[in-house]
Structure 1
Amino acid sequence: MSDFLLHLLRHGEPEGAGRLIGHSDALPTKAGIAACVDRARGVQMEVLLSSDLWRARRAGEAIGQATGLPLTTDARWRELDFGGWDGLLAAEIDSAALARFWDDPDGHPPPDGESWSGLTHRVAQAIDMLAARTTIVVTHAGAMRAAAAHLCGLDARQAWALDLPYASLLSLRIWRAPGARPTAQIVGLRA
């Protein structure tokens, strides 16, 4: 059985913060990029990945410049697709529909958006493709929660209970055995 560390770093504050920003993109602020670089400082890493969305990718590029590691992007690390709610403030969404989503994100996904199980499935595919090397992924809060759910057996409610502010770092030790689903333990959370 092999094990390795996976560090998941949420992108820094983007323009339009406070809105549901899923697959649409928002540029990161300079302060948001700097916060990610600061958070990554001193973190052991052999592999640097990021979501392909600019708010994560720009922070990944800055970390790559600081560490000398090449950056690889992977769209599977994107945020949940909020569909018709993308770009809206919570106050602009029907409160009953939003409450149903928060209560059961798989049974009541955003209109024309992605279900919780869809997000978890694509993040699980990205995790399964990782080499057993210490890796940092600059990603999004939803993808981080999906990774924790997949690796640690959390249900949606437990995963959504993780507070992951901008530039927070979730570290997991992953174990893989041939032919078995990977498992993990949360070994750090810095917010």
Structure 2
Amino acid sequence: MAPFTLHLLRHGEPERPGRLMGRTDCPSSAAGIQDCIDRAMALEVEAIVCSNLSRAQAAAEEIGHRKGLAVTIDPLWRELDFGAWDGLAPEEIDPAALARFQANPDANPPPDGEPWSQLVARVGRALDRLSPRDTLIVTHGGAMRAALAHLCDLRERNTWAVALPYAALLTLEVWLSDPLSAQITGLRT
């Protein structure tokens, strides 16, 4: 079977940038939404999916409106849950605990937070239920990295080597197989 194209678009800059915004529902700025629109308008897609957090949903809905496509909201595409650290700036977190998390986010998740492997499994479930058609997913940096881990069999350390600033666009060719597999065909930051 022929592959389909999957575009993963990170939400635009939030109104409160520089914080660990996992489950915190902080909207994107108007400029951040426009950055996402600018990235997405040249894409040829048949479907649009997004996280249920407003910083992803607002851009997805505007893109869908302009392209004449309905948007499917899927909470499986949410960001990593940072637990007690959610909404905090890195300098507000114990440096030793943050360093342990950054070195091994699966073994050292934030207090009451989600381990990396749970995020990868959650995003894997979202990927497994996609229809094989060219799709844009407006989501979060952690979810994009989890998709890379799931589709390209990358270790967590390798996924964090990929720079994904706000409104970054990652394009993959995805083959339906068991498990799904993909090849990165483009990255725009």
TM-score, with structure 1 as normaliser: 0.98
Q: Quick one: distance in 1 between partners of 2:162 and 2:76? A: 20
Q: Quick one: distance in 2 between partners of 1:27 and 1:126? A: 23
For residue 146 of structure 1, report the CA deviation from its aligned partner.
0.2
Cα-to-partner distance string for 1:75-121 (whole Å, 9 max, x where unaligned): 00000000000011101100110000010000000000000000000
What aligned pairs does 1:26-105 form with structure 2 within 5 A after superposition?
26-105=26-105
Q: Quick one: distance in 1 between partners of 2:157 and 2:187? A: 18
Residues 21 and 87 of structure 1 are in contact (CA less than 8 Å); yes or no, is this contact kept in structure 2?
Answer: yes
Letter of the 2:127 counterpart: I
Gaps of 5+ in 1: none
Q: Quick one: distance in 2 between partners of 1:90 and 1:20? A: 7
Find out whether 1:181 has 2:173 as its counterpart. no
Q: Quick one: distance in 1 between partners of 2:30 and 2:65? A: 15
2:165 partner SS: coil
Between Structure 1 and Structure 2, how many residues are aligned? 189
Q: Quick one: distance in 1 between partners of 2:155 and 2:44? A: 29
TM-score, with structure 2 as normaliser: 0.99
Structure 1 vs Structure 2 CA RMSD? 0.7
- 1:19 aligned partner: 19
1:13 partner SS: coil
Find out whether 1:117 has 2:123 as its counterpart. no
2:6 partner SS: strand
- 2:164 aligned partner: 164
Letter of the 1:113 counterpart: G
Cα-to-partner distance string for 1:114-138 (whole Å, 9 max, x where unaligned): 0000000000000000000000000
- 1:133 aligned partner: 133
Query: Which runs of 4 or more aligned residues in structure 1 lie more than 2 Å from their structure 2 counterparts after TM superposition?
Result: none
Gaps of 5+ in 2: none
For residue 2 of structure 1, report the CA deviation from its aligned partner.
3.6
1:97 partner SS: helix
For residue 161 of structure 1, report the CA deviation from its aligned partner.
1.1
Q: Quick one: distance in 1 between partners of 2:84 and 2:2? A: 42
Residues 48 and 64 of structure 1 are in contact (CA less than 8 Å); yes or no, is this contact kept in structure 2?
Answer: yes
Letter of the 2:60 counterpart: G
1:49 partner SS: strand
Residues 19 and 88 of structure 1 are in contact (CA less than 8 Å); yes or no, is this contact kept in structure 2?
Answer: yes
Identity, % of aligned pairs? 56
Q: Quick one: distance in 2 between partners of 1:117 and 1:148? A: 13
- 2:108 aligned partner: 108
